[in-house]
Amino acid sequence: MSGRRRNKKDTKPMLFTPLNYKLLGLGVLLIVVGFTAMRLENEVDGIISLYISPLVILSGYIVVIYAILKRDHKLDESSTKSTS
């Protein structure tokens, strides 16, 4: 152990906020629910497996992409002020 302590200025802000993690979990949950509903109906001509499940899966992927790309602008402003 080096015995050296980190200052608050040395730490970098987290990449994701708690909202990002919640949105990411929601997106994964939507994807799992969509594939599960598609599997449970188990019919080729079923309404759920043809229309509803693909929409749920697509919305899950959209939520996951949004959760990854979303940035908190308040954290960006505070980090630029503290470094300058």
Structural domain contains residue 78 = no
Q: Is residue 81 part of a domain?
A: no
Judged against a pLDDT cut of 90, whether residue 19 lies above it is answered with yes
Asked if the structure places residue 9 within a domain, the reply is no
- Residue 33's domain comprises 18-72
pTM summary value = 0.73
What's the angle, vertex CA 18, arms to CA 13 and CA 24, rounded to 5? 115
Model pLDDT, residue 9:
64
Residue 36 lies in a domain: yes
Q: Is 42 left (phi over 0), alpha (psi -120 to 50) or beta?
A: left
42-57 in b/e form (b: 16+ CB < 10 A) is eeeeeebbeeebeebb
The pLDDT mean for the chain works out to 84
Q: How many domains does the chain have?
A: 1
| Position 2 pLDDT exceeds 80 | no
Q: Is residue 3 part of a domain?
A: no
Where is average pLDDT lowest: 30-34, 54-58, 60-64, 80-84? 80-84
Asked, for residue 65, whether it belongs to a domain, the answer is: yes
- Please give the share of the chain, as a percent, with pLDDT higher than 90: 55
